[in-house]
Structure 1
Amino acid sequence: MEEGQSKSVASNLWSSAETVKLLQKLFAEVVGTYFVIFAGCGAVAVDKMYGSVSFPGVSVVWGLIVMVMIYSVGHISGAHFNPAVTVTFAIFRQFPFKQVKGYSLYRYHSNKQTRFQIRWICVIHCANCISSEEAYFGTVPVGPNLRSFVLEIIISFLLMFVISGVATDNRAVGELAGIAVGMTIMLNVFVAGPVSGASMNPARSLGPAIVMRIYKGIWVYIVGPFAGTILGGFAYNLIRYTNKPLSELTKSATLLRSVRGYP
């Protein structure tokens, strides 16, 4: 009897509209993250091996692939592709906390699978480069770790500030969100790429580090993006439109509710 009830509950759970919708979102994030990493890290790997892409080309590839995937799956999953963005949305009540774990796990496995494929592409074309740090398609600090850490906070702040403006504010032109976010990533790569690698995404850096076993300065790319995106989300929510008077907004409780996304 209990076994029959448990099977019935499981059947209802997997057939519910909410579960199906969540699975669609997770699959969209897997596909989107896969192609973001495949194109971005693939461009880095090809440039390392052949020098045919160039640094400006790599910057453009990162911006274009993010823009393309936002327009492809943004209306399904929100097109986060970044655990720091997902956590920041959850903190400010713009994304349910219960889905954060699922998004992060699926995104991590997609990242790892993509990195293994890029690694074997490198092996096929250049047998010796896979063990060479010069052929590494991840991110490592150039110079002091602290400099890259500060830079990762700044560019992650800018990225989340733009995302909050174009994707969470109903006064923005939503159709331009993909272009705005893609161009922000391209600009950040141009500015920070030669110094920190312009990760802005813990999963983007952690995946290659695990696959290639190169962990130099990895804490920079875990702590920096999370700190920067949370600060960027906080900053935009401070200036988000409200019809409440200044005297009410300056009250600590009201300000906290405003920043956390309450009406």
Structure 2
Amino acid sequence: MKKLLAECLGTFTLVFAGTGAIVINAATHGSITHVGIALVFGLVVLAMIHTFGDVSGAHLNPAVTLAFAAARRLPWREAPGYVVAQVAGAFAASLLLHFLFPQDTTLGATLPLGSDAQSFVLELVLSAILMLTILSVSTGAKEKGITAAITIGGVIALEALFAGPISGASMNPARSLAPAFISGHLSHLWLYLTAPILGALLAVPLCLCVRDSTCCCASPTSGKS
């Protein structure tokens, strides 16, 4: 239960700060800026990995959890609980933002600027790069020390900086599901649920191609997953 609570609280903080930055940026006529929003997402992930990494691994993302399970770094039996906790945290954050800013019509939902196909490919590639980074700096389903948080947060900020204006750079089904559902912007939601998961799963064989063959084949450990 401590792992699940950590995932719920971590994902709540991620969505509250990240999508909150988008909502507040709109309410204050661009005071935070796109660069600021990208940095918020990167910094909040960095902070949550430091806060909860030793408890649950600080996945904060169903796509990451499923990829860890596919890589046999997390027992499959633990994955559903992680995903439910992450989604619950995301919904709690979006509901709170809706209460605080009822005038906002999107609550930071990820919406494609161009075609769905364009954003689908972007989200798939971004998620694959992110997950490949996570697999490379983690051991089991847990990060390797202090530099992992900086690396993962940096990659998220980097990808949000250059791809955010087109696809929203979600890379996280929970982060997209909650604001889309509560704000009613569901027409493009399918791509933000499927592309990040497919991209994260793609990272597993990519990791095997560049690392030792045992990197994603060892038996998972449940003690600190």
TM-score, reference length from structure 1: 0.78
- Are 1:209 and 2:180 an aligned pair? yes
Q: 4+ runs of 1 displaced by more than 3 Å? A: none
- Are 1:92 and 2:86 an aligned pair? no
CA deviation profile, 1:94-118 (whole Å, cap 9, x unmatched): 0011111111111111111110100
Q: Which amino acid aligns with 1:214?
A: H
Matched with 1:44 is: 22
Deviation at 1:175, TM superposition (A): 2.2
Contact persistence 1:115–1:207 (CA under 8 A): yes
Matched with 1:120 is: 99
Aligned length: 216
CA distance in 2, matches of 1:203, 1:193: 17
SS of match in other structure, 2:131: helix
SS of match in other structure, 2:109: coil
Matched with 1:237 is: 208
Q: Which has the larger radius of gyration?
A: 1
Matched with 2:196 is: 225
Matched with 1:251 is: none
Matched with 1:35 is: 13
CA distance in 1, matches of 2:9, 2:210: 34
- Are 1:145 and 2:124 an aligned pair? no
Matched with 1:183 is: 154
SS of match in other structure, 2:159: helix
Matched with 1:20 is: none
SS of match in other structure, 2:73: coil
Unaligned runs of 5+ in 2: 220-225
Contact persistence 2:94–2:182 (CA under 8 A): yes
Deviation at 1:183, TM superposition (A): 0.2
TM-score, reference length from structure 2: 0.91
Deviation at 1:173, TM superposition (A): 5.7
Aligned residue runs from structure 1 range 37-116, under 5 A = 37-50=15-28, 51-116=30-95
SS of match in other structure, 2:67: helix
Q: Which amino acid aligns with 1:76?
A: V
Structure with the larger RCO, 1 or 2 (CA within 8 Å, 6+ apart) = 2
Q: State the identity as a percent.
A: 36
Unaligned runs of 5+ in 1: 1-22, 124-128, 243-257
Contact persistence 2:73–2:218 (CA under 8 A): no
CA deviation profile, 1:190-238 (whole Å, cap 9, x unmatched): 1110000000001110111111111131111011101111111221122
Deviation at 1:136, TM superposition (A): 4.0
Answer with 188-197 or 173-182: which moved more.
173-182
SS of match in other structure, 1:85: helix
